Structure 1
Amino acid sequence: MVFLPGTAAALCTVRQTLFVCAWTTLTVAVVAFLWVDAAAPLLDRGLVLALTGCLGAASVYACRRRVRKENEVLRLRSVAAAMQRQILRSLPLRTADVLVDGVYEPLQEDRLVGGDVYDVVESPWGTRVLIGDVQGKGLAAVGAAFAVIGAFRAAARRESTLTAVVDSLEASVNWHNLCAEQAGDEERFVTALVVGIDGHGEAQAVNCGHVPPQLVHAGSVTTLPLDSGVPLGLAALTDESVTVDAFPFPADATLLLSTDGLMETRAADGAFYPIDEDLARRAHLDPADLPRALYDDACAFAGTGGQQDDIAVLTVRRAPRHRAR
């Protein structure tokens, strides 16, 4: 019973710990001075009671420190979560042109944002959708991800063409790498896919070394044959120009965008997750449910290995337009 307050200090609130300490001290006093043989040395009984009181006081002090630290950590996590939510908006997202739903699961569970990025911006030239994947993991990858998102939000509303938007993203990554080099950090490149959608039956896309999008239409799945350019941050190493591809995007079709964390999920035997076969089997699902189903299938395929990288899966479909009365 002497050590009971220590257990309470690790598990209970300060008020509960105080109650346990008071109850333990009272119980020890009753046992020591009323139930114990009167021949027992009074000094021994006094020492036991004093030890109980000291341990109780120490337990209350330790409990107060623990609760204070937990509250500080909770406040810091709340602030961090609020800041990250302002940078990476919660799904689903809606504009006048599209409905975007999906799943975003960082590899590290204690973070809301990882190396994968996405955003949806409504502009005078239609809706621009971004999905990207920063090379590497950790806080440095998160910093590059924030740089790309900020540049995209500004350029998507300012630039009239997707090529100009991608040029702005390239400049942002180059600036981030310059700052990283000066700070002694590792430089990063970013694979990205920028899609432009307006009220017509087509969509445009620029692929910067990213996983190609897939079009789900009438129960069939088609991987769009986009030209794959170099990732953001590596344009200086090639003479290739940014290429814009156009493809049909009917009103009843769904565009699936993902990062390589999904397709590179591995089972225990090293086999890769068969995303094409699974997507064909899941093509009948509602676009709002499809990303979660694919993510759950990938996690089940990985088994005990669990999630191995940041994963982002988005579905893009045209928003229903209200007819003018």
Structure 2
Amino acid sequence: MIHRRVSFRPPDVPQRSRAESKAEPSPTGTVKNPMAYIAALTVPIVALELVIDDRTVRLIPLLILLPALPAALGTVRQTVYAVGWVLIVITGVLIYRPLPSWYDYLIIMVLAAVLGVLCVLTCHWRIRRERELSQVRSTAVALQRQVLRPLPILTDQVIVDGVYLPVEEDRLVGADIYEAVASPYGTRLLFGDVQGKGLPAIGAAFAALGAFREAAQREPTLTALVDSLEKAVVRHNAFAQQTGEPERFVTALILGIDASTDTQAVNCGHPPPYLLNAGLVTPVLLGDPGVPLGLADLAPKPQTVAWFPFPPGATLLVCSDGVTEARGITGAFYPLEERLRAWADVSPWEIAGNLAKDLSEHTAGEQRDDITALVIRRTT
């Protein structure tokens, strides 16, 4: 029995360099040159101020609000420059076209200075908060990558390849999991998605993943394996309640592949896989999905095993809802089955790369959830 551990990354997804990984995370909401926008907004306000021949209508105080733009989208230095620019422009305009009294001038300058200081402090707080969130995301993603096994994975029955792209741009990371274990009963595969996001969700994912790795070697039947996973998630929820965390469930698909051409599956609320064989793409019918792991007490009947043909040379594609529920710029869901039919003649090892690239184009690069897809090839 051979196990091969090779890191897989689809094309057009560059890997971070060591220097980049050690560098301090940059603010995620900054723009390159907000001063250009400040100048563009200053020109019409000043022009109208000078054109309007009514000393009771003064537009120049509107410039006080301009530093709010770099405070929300720029850096602290850019915000300081914007505050200085506003003070200089207000002073120059009021010298050219003075106010009725010096008291009015003093009020405008004090307001501009006070709001400018508040904008600088707000920008500093925002950037510090973004860096803290970026560090949390980086830590969570590093934990995921260390616990999940690198792809591809080779066993006596299958070769498992795929793509795993945890979301790093959102406020919290997701918690997709996968695993393939070569057991005395054949190859057992787990593909799951934990409810919610963040480090608590990753904790539930690790609990399910650890239980699967241990029970896959021990339990002779797939239903007993699922029962072990259910107990692990329930135990984790009980511990989470003691620490004030909410209970979580795990949607999962568990497969059992042995020397037989028929494959066992237990569907715990997960989207069914797709079978690619002889140029045809068909969704695998597993019957009504069971309840997710952690909710077995709510189910009217225990989990059952479904059987489906998985002949040698065929390929299974299992993916998370980050793929099936990915929305384009028009709000349309990603047409996974349509794309798979277009790739029916493509090599199985190119499907994962094609999927990652096509998803990026469909969503215009706006990844909102973990993107995880496994391409399971039945060996001959």
**Counterpart Cα distance in 1 of 2:243 and 2:140:** 26
Q: 2:87 matched to which residue of 1?
A: none
* 1:156 aligned to which of 203, 216, 226: 216
Query: What's 2:303 paired with?
Result: 242
> For 2:241, what is the secondary structure of its paired residue?
helix
How far off its partner does 1:268 sit? 1.8
Structure 2 counterparts to residues 89-168 of structure 1, below 5 A: 89-108=149-168, 114-168=174-228
Partner of 2:44: none
Distance in 1, matches of 2:292 and 2:272, equals 13
Select which of 294, 316, 331 maps to 1:255: 316
Distance 1:123 1:109, change over 3 A: farther
Distance 2:206 2:330 in 1: 35
Cα distance change, pair 78–186 in 1 and its aligned pair in 2 (3 A): closer
Contact 1:262 1:295 in 2 (8 A): no
Is residue 174–residue 196 contact of structure 2 (8 Å, CA) maintained in 1?
no
Structural RMSD (CA): 2.4
Whole-angstrom CA distance in 1 between matches of 2:259 and 2:169:
38
Is this contact kept in 2: 1:94–1:319, CA < 8 A?
no
| 1:84 CA displacement | 4.4
Supply the distance in 1 between the matched residues of 2:195 and 2:339 (Cα, whole angstroms): 26
Q: Structure 1 residue aligned with 2:351, among 277, 290, 293?
A: 290
Runs (5+) with no aligned partner, structure 2: 1-22, 25-133
Deviation beyond 3 Å, 4+ runs, structure 1: 77-81, 83-86
CA deviation vs aligned residue, 1:141-172 (integer Å, no higher than 9, x gap): 11111111000000100000110111011111
Instruction: Give SS of 1:283's match.
Output: coil
Which residue in 1 is equivalent to 2:253? 193
| Secondary structure of residue in 1 paired with 2:234 | helix
Residues 97 and 198 of structure 1 are in contact (CA less than 8 Å); yes or no, is this contact kept in structure 2? yes
The equivalent of 1:318 in structure 2 is 378
- CA distance, structure 2, for counterparts of residue 192 and residue 262 of structure 1: 15
- Quick one: structure 1 residues 106 and 204, their matched pair in 2 at CA, closer, same or farther if it must change by over 3 Å? same
Change in 2 beyond 3 A, CA 1:147/1:212: same
SS at match of 2:212: helix
Q: CA deviation at 1:303?
A: 1.4
Between the aligned residues of both structures, percent identity stands at 54
Matches of 1:137 and 1:94, distance apart in 2: 30
CA distance in 2, matches of 1:86, 1:270: 34
Aligned to 1:266: 327
Q: Which amino acid aligns with 2:339?
A: D
Tell me which residue corresponds to 2:290.
229
Q: Secondary structure at the match of 1:303?
A: coil
Alignment deviations for residues 192-241 of structure 1 (CA, whole Å, 9 cap, x no partner): 00001011211110000001011001111110111310000111112221
Q: 2:313 & 2:368 partners in 1: Cα distance?
A: 33
* Partner amino acid, structure 1, of 2:361: A
Deviations 1:246-292 (A, max 9, x none): 11111111011111110100012211011110111012121111122
Q: Offset of 1:79 from its aligned partner? A: 12
Tell me which residue corresponds to 1:39: none
Instruction: In structure 1, give the amino acid aligned to 2:235.
Output: W
Distance 2:279 2:343 in 1: 9
Match of residue 268 from structure 2: 208
The separation in 2 between residues aligned to 1:278 and 1:84, in whole angstroms, is 28
* Cα deviation, residue 318, structure 1: 1.9
The aligned amino acid for 1:164 is A
Change over 3 Å in CA distance of 1:132–1:303 after alignment to 2: same
In 2, the alpha carbon distance for the partners of 1:237 and 1:187 equals: 14
User: What is the number of equivalent residue pairs in this alignment?
Assistant: 245
Report the CA distance shift for 1:110/1:302 in structure 2 as closer, same or farther (over 3 A): closer
Of the three residues 225, 237, 242, the one matched with 1:182 is 242
Q: Distance in 2 between matches of 1:315 and 1:141?
A: 25
Residue 109 of structure 1 deviates from its aligned partner by 6.0
Give 1:319 shift.
2.8
Conserved in 2, the CA contact under 8 Å of 1:115 and 1:134?
A: yes
Measure the CA separation in 2 of the matches of 1:148 and 1:283: 33
Q: Give the aligned residue type for 1:182.
A: Q
Q: Is the 8 A contact 2:140 2:198 kept in 1?
A: no
Partner residue in 1 for 2:360 = 299
